[in-house]
Amino acid sequence: MSDDTTIISLLLGFLEGLTEFIPVSSTGHLLLAGHFLGFQSPGKTFEVVIQFGSVLAILSVYFHKLWQVARDAPSDPAARRFILSVLVAFMPAAVIGVLAHGFIKSVLFETPKLIAIMLVLGGIALLWVDRQPLRPRHEDATRFSLPMALGIGFAQTLAMVPGVSRSGSTIVAAMLMGASKRAAAEFSFFLAMPTMAGAFAYDLYKNRAVLDSSALGDIAIGFVAAFVSAVLVVKWLLGYVSRHGYALFGWWRIVIGAAALAGLMIFG
C-alpha cells in the first residue's frame, strides 16, 4: 500500500461519510472521484464496504433510541411496527440487489457518464420537490404505515443506479407521501442500516476471492474516515433540513454532475 494510495483511501473514506446521508449519492461521488484519481479497487468492493463505516456512525448516534426500541419490542406494538416498517422498506432493495448484483457492479458502476447525468437529473428532481407546497402529515419517522414504508422501499431501488442517491430517493418518496423533511431524513437513516449492512456483507462474500492484504488496508483506512465524517454529518443534517430544506443539495448535485460531464469530455 503506497503513500499515494493511503491518501486517496483516506480522502475517499471522508467523501463517503460526508455524502452518504445527504441526498447527493455517495456512491456516485466515490466512483467519479476514483475515476478521475485513477483509483481502482477489486470488484469495486472498496466503494461498497467502506459504507459500513457510515452504518456504524448511525448506530453510534442513535444507539440509545434503537436500544429502547429493541427493549420495548416484546411488549410495545408501536416498537414492533417500527421494526417491521424498516424491514418492509428494506426488502425490495434486498431482492433486486441480489438478482442484479453482477449487472450493477460490472455495467452501472463502470459508466461515469451515466453517474454524472443521474446526479444532474436527481438535483433537478430534488429542487422541484423542495419547492412544492407539500403539507406534512407524518412528523414521526417511527410511526410510518407499512404501505408507506413499502413505497419508500421501492423508491430506494432506484438508487441501484449510481448517481441517483439512496438517501435522495427515499427522502423524496417519503416527502411525496406526506412526511416532514426531518422525518423523511430520519427514516432514511434508519433504513440505511439494514440496506448498507446487507450490501456490505453480500459484496464482501461475492468478492472474497479478489481481496488481498493491500486491499484490506485501503478498506480499513476508508472505513475509519467514513465513520468519523458520517457521525459529524448525521448530527448536523436533521437540524439543517428542518430549517432550510434540500435546495442546497439539489444545486450541489447539479454542479458536481455538470463538472463531471465536462471533465469526461475533456479528459475522458
Domain boundaries, the chain: 3-267
How far apart are the C-alpha atoms of 25 and 158, rounded to whole Å? 11
Sorted by sequence, the CB contacts under 8 Å of residue 16 that are 6+ apart come out as 26, 29, 30, 47, 50, 51, 53, 54, 222, 225, 226, 229, 230
Which residue, chain included where needed, has cell 417519503? 174
Tell me what pLDDT residue 3 has. Answer: 65
Q: Say if residue 48 is exposed, middle or buried (CB neighbours under 10 Å; 0-12, 13-18, 19+).
A: buried
How far apart are the C-alpha atoms of 147 and 150, rounded to whole Å? 5
* Per-residue cell: 22: 445527504
Range name among 65-69, 136-140, 156-160, 234-238 with the lowest pLDDT average: 234-238
Tell me what pLDDT residue 82 has. Answer: 96
pTM comes to 0.86
What is the three-state SS of 47-83? Answer: HHHCHHHHHHHHHHHCHHHHHHHHHHCCCCHHHHHHH
Q: Where are the alpha helices (DSSP H) in the chain?
A: 3-19, 26-37, 45-49, 51-61, 63-72, 77-99, 101-106, 112-130, 146-156, 166-176, 181-206, 213-244, 247-267
Q: What is the mean pLDDT of residues 126-140?
A: 92
Tell me what pLDDT residue 184 has. Answer: 94
Using CA atoms, how far residue 174 sits from 150, 183, 252, in Å, is 10, 8, 21
Tell me what pLDDT residue 44 has. Answer: 67
What values do phi and psi take at 252, rounded to 5?
-55, -50
Tell me what pLDDT residue 210 has. Answer: 65
Task: Encode pLDDT of 196-251 as tens digits.
Answer: 888 878 877 777 776 666 667 888 899 899 999 999 998 899 889 988 999 999 99
User: pLDDT at residue 2 above 70?
Assistant: no
User: pLDDT at residue 266 above 60?
Assistant: yes
- Tell me the percentage of the chain whose pLDDT exceeds 90: 56
Tell me what pLDDT residue 108 has. Answer: 80
Range name among 44-48, 97-101, 135-139, 217-221 with the lowest pLDDT average: 44-48
Task: Encode pLDDT of 152-196 as tens digits.
Answer: 999 999 988 888 999 999 999 999 999 999 999 999 999 999 998
Q: What is the mean pLDDT of residues 92-103?
A: 88
Range name among 57-71, 75-89, 95-109 with the lowest pLDDT average: 95-109
